[in-house]
Structure 1
Amino acid sequence: MKLKYLFLLLVLIGIWSCDEKGVDYELVKVATPELMAKSDFRNSVAIVDPENIEELGKIYAYKNYIFVSDSKKGVHIIDNSNPESPQAIKHIKIPGNEDISVKNDFLYADSATDLLVFDISDMNSISLVERLKDVFNIYDYNIPIEAEAVDYGKIDLEDNIIVGWTITTEKRKKVDNRFIGIAFEDGAVVQSMAESVTGQGGSLARFQIVGNYLYTVGNYQMSIFNIQSLSSPVLENTQNAGWNIETMFQADDYLYLGSTNGMYIYSISNPSSPEYVSEFTHWEGCDPVVVDGDYAYLTLRGGNDCGQLESVLEVIDISKKETPTLAGRYELENPYGLGIKGSTLFVCDGTSGLKLFDKADPLKVKQINAYQDAQSKDVIPLENNLLMIGGNTLYQYDYIADGVELISSYSLR
């Protein structure tokens, strides 16, 4: 009897593996989009009382406020008038949100394919004052990493927005060199007189405000908005930006885009039309970048979805923007964001904590301190103190000789 059942099993396997003559089949993890009507999606923006953060996103500082994003859900506003005792005051619910920037009390935020503008001059009466619809033609739809294929037949983006994905395992014909992407008909692939006050984001940011322009970057497209009229931005230009862009940093008259396989440099001497200058190519890895003077500092996180090689800090000589060159490489454990103040480079090394490097001589960067008692994701080195997020906690530090000293830790859950 056992032999009979074994024979039957082998027959079924044979039928499954080759249903048609000469055609091989395999089990494939297929991602199917979860859709929401655009009308419902756009009506779900709300300003509510403080709530716990479900998935820690990015950090942004403006005046005495800290904005912490809840990935794809919006931003939480923290009053930091007293750094020893920060207080959450508001939560702006923004579906599909990843990034923000603030200038003169106007907050710009992405909401999937839309750009939203909020008036935050009165934190007790925040209001949505403008929405530019469908300005992000290439948008990061966050197809799950484990997905091996996408169910294109169920993607209707004319009246809907992708708000999530469902993964199922299906038997499909075997295809070599499978590419996951979302194709559209147009060929794109889914993804005043007073002193101006602009906020500051961390190294994981994709938004940058420079003068009267807001620069935003998606997976491989840059959108340039004229914000001379702060409450009424105008989409002035869109252009290709590179490939697998993850972050954007601005220094002097240049934008530095961090991608999974390189750093792209763009000149903004003509602010409405950034001009490609050069790129520095490295192996595949998650790649935020910051710049100080003639050197760029970037971290590469290997493993998982970021790459297969080791994790490192790279120092790039950008004194000649047309020909950036590698000036140094230092091993790390699990790096994320980084920031600079003076001669100190702050590197978030994930579960290995915060590491401090002396970069007085960029060609001989050396570690001077490490704080392993806190998980770290990104930092913002402000004038008087250091902000850091990681492990669902907001940390604030005073600067001391060759190190930092904890001011407070604030749980975001």
Structure 2
Amino acid sequence: MTTAVRTNRLLALLILSALLGLSILLEGCNDRCTETYSYTYFEPVYTPLATIRAGVKQESPRQLQGLGKIYFKDGYLFVNQPGEGIHVIDNRNPENPVIKSFIKIPGNYDLAIRNTTLYADSYIDLVALDVSNLDQVTEVARIENAFISYNSMGFYATAENGVVTDWTEREVTFDESSCENIRWEAWGGFRWGGGIFLANAASFDSRAAIAPGNSTGIGGSMARFTISNDYLYMLDGGNIHTADISIASDPEKISSQYVMWDIETIFPYADKLFIGARSGMHIYDLATPENPQKISTYSHINSCDPVVVSGDYAYVTLRSGTECQGFANQLEVLDISNLTSPSLVKMYPMHNPHGLGVDDPVLFICDGNDGLKIYDATDKLNIDKNLIKHYKNIHAYDAIPFNNVLMLIGEDGIFQYDYSDLNNISLLSHIQVQDE
């Protein structure tokens, strides 16, 4: 047999093998891709930007419903109702808080207050409100298009469509008849035809899917807005935006910088910012306040991560859950005496911790469905052995300790406790949440 004949036979064999393999691949592809599935389809509902921007106004008091962020300033509580606006509560007597009014702010999730100006997000805009007279709150300024990422599903505002403000739900039969790959997103679905498909509609939270020397107030540990002197710092997607608010009626966004895609919370301490992320804690220096400079990052396992700071220690809670993409439920105590190299002091297991607060030496942990836990944190190595009080029959989301009063927010409403005597902590008041 000649070399040419052997070569031709070998070539024919290779071609036959390739065709056979392709046939098997196509058959397998057909077996895999001709299935018909039923999904829940959510089609976005858009609202024009002009309508959104004309929607800020003060209204009569509302019942608390679906509570979000909490902020305290000059005897008043400002409580966010996600996507809707802010409840104003007269808390000068914490034994008898009074819901005073509701500030309607479409697409609002975060807030911060300096002097008599309240700053709040409204989808893609930053809104400044004059709260010097809480009976007549008025909008005094607005930075349009201040934010890029205004919802967790990756939909962006456009001049033509406006912003996504709601979702229309229906069942759709989807025929995967081609062999194209469907790219599932981290939120449990995939995009198609201008909307989103979910295999498990029960996991879909429509509100979350459109959600994110001067006198300043106090925010909770879940905050994404914070103020330091003349500057407002805001988390947006993976970025931190800085706005000069020295002139209340003319705020100016002056810088933006990328931190990490998974940043979630921001906490000011001294001249530093502590930014909690799913993958760790980032520390920024405010020596140049208009452009914060990164000092270091402390990395941990992937989990939701609010942080509070007192002295040389930072307290970080990690929790599991669908949105957190992690499995850890714990408290971490970090030594930050060397800001360039934070180190773990000790880790304590928890149930499903959310926000937290510290009023040295007292540490407050909002442990989700396991309630509120109050510790003496003097001994950082034995915090678990120094539990002062455990309120089990409430859901605890976030808390602000101030002047011996703990203001706590959760699914059951707003609870306030007097902790001036740690041996006799007492409930001062409870504002219930109305069922949705």
TM-score, length-scaled by structure 1: 0.85
Alignment partner, residue 195 of structure 2: none
**1:157-168 correspondence to structure 2 within 5 Å:** 157-159=158-160, 160-166=162-168
Equivalent residue, structure 1, for 2:366: 348
Given candidates 66, 74, 78, the residue that maps to 1:55 is 66
Q: What displacement does 1:85 show?
A: 1.1
> Which of 99, 102, 108 is the equivalent residue of 1:88?
99
* CA-CA distance at 1:307 after TM superposition: 3.1
> Structure 2: how far apart are the matches of 1:31 and 1:405?
46
Change (3 A) 1:249 1:119: same
Q: What does residue 13 of structure 1 align with?
A: none
Q: Which residue of 2 aligns with 1:323?
A: 341
Q: Is the 8 A contact 2:224 2:264 kept in 1?
A: yes
Partner of 2:200: none
Give 1:196 shift: 2.7
C-alpha separation in 1, matches of 2:105 and 2:254? 24
Cα distance in 1 between the residues matched to 2:388 and 2:412:
26
Shift of 1:29: 6.0
Structure 1, unaligned runs of 5 or more: 1-16, 144-149, 183-189
Query: Which residue in 2 is equivalent to 1:284?
Result: 302
Alignment of 1:74-223 (within 5 A): 74-137=85-148, 139-143=149-153, 157-159=158-160, 160-166=162-168, 169=172, 170-172=174-176, 174-175=180-181, 178-179=184-185, 196-223=214-241
Measured in 2, the distance between the counterparts of 1:177 and 1:364 equals 46
Structure 1 residue 21 displacement after superposition: 5.7
1:402 is displaced (CA, Å) by 4.7
Q: What letter matches 2:414 in structure 1?
A: L
CA 1:389 to 1:360, structure 2 compared with 1: closer, same or farther past 3 Å? same
Describe the superposition over 1:243-266 as per-residue Cα deviations: whole angstroms up to 9, x where unpaired. 211110011121111111211111
How many Å apart are 1:30 and its aligned residue?
A: 5.5
Counterpart residue identity of residue 258, structure 1? G
CA RMSD of aligned residues (A): 2.5
Q: How much has 1:158 moved relative to structure 2?
A: 2.7
3-state SS of paired residue (2:69) = strand
Q: CA deviation at 1:104?
A: 0.9
CA contact (8 A) 1:18 1:24 kept: no
SS of the residue 1:39 aligns to: helix
The reply on whether 1:369 has 2:389 as its aligned counterpart is: yes
* Conserved 8 A contact 2:124-2:150: no
- Matched residue, 2:33: 24
**Match of 1:408?**
429
Q: Is the 8 A contact 2:87 2:101 kept in 1?
A: yes
TM-score (norm 2): 0.80
Partner SS state of residue 40, structure 1 = helix
**Secondary structure of the structure 1 residue equivalent to 2:167:** strand
Q: Give the Cα–Cα distance (whole angstroms) in 2 for the partners of residues 242 and 402 of structure 1.
A: 43
CA distance in structure 1 between the partners assigned to 2:306 and 2:220 by the alignment: 9
Q: Which has the larger radius of gyration?
A: 2
Would the alpha carbon gap of residues 54 and 393 (structure 1) be closer, same or farther in structure 2, given more than 3 Å must change? closer
Aligned pairs for 1:282-321 (under 5 A) are 282-321=300-339
Letter aligned with residue 152 of structure 2: N
Deviation at 1:20, TM superposition (A): 8.1
Instruction: Name the CA distance, whole Å, in 1 between partners of 2:41 and 2:279.
Output: 26
Report the Cα distance in structure 1 between the residues aligned to 2:61 and 2:118, rounded to whole angstroms: 18
- Partner Cα distance (1:403, 1:249) in 2: 30
Question: Structure 1: how far apart are the matches of 2:227 and 2:258?
Answer: 19
- Residue 242 of structure 1 contacts residue 264 of structure 1 at CA under 8 Å; is this kept in 2? no
Distance of 2:252 and 2:285 partners within structure 1: 21
Of the structure 1 ranges 31-40 and 48-57, higher mean CA displacement relative to structure 2 is found in 31-40
Contact conserved, 1:54 with 1:70, CA < 8 A, in 2?
yes
Contact in 2 for aligned 1:369/1:403 (Cα 8 Å): no
Paired with 1:25 and 1:301, the residues of 2 have a C-alpha distance of 39
| Counterpart AA for 1:240 | Y
Report what 2:416 is aligned to.
396
Q: Secondary structure at the match of 1:285?
A: coil
Question: Are 1:225 and 2:225 matched, yes or no?
Answer: no
Amino acid at match of 2:142: R
**Closer/same/farther in 2, CA of residues 40 and 335 from structure 1, 3 Å limit:** same
- Asked if structure 2 preserves the Cα contact closer than 8 Å seen for 1:18 and 1:25, the reply is no
Q: What SS does the aligned partner of 2:88 have?
A: strand
For the 8 Å contact 1:287–1:301, the answer to whether it is kept is yes
Distance 1:402 1:282, change over 3 A: farther
CA distance, structure 2, for counterparts of residue 156 and residue 294 of structure 1: 42
Distance 1:130 1:307, change over 3 A: same
Equivalent position to 1:45, from 34, 52, 56: 56
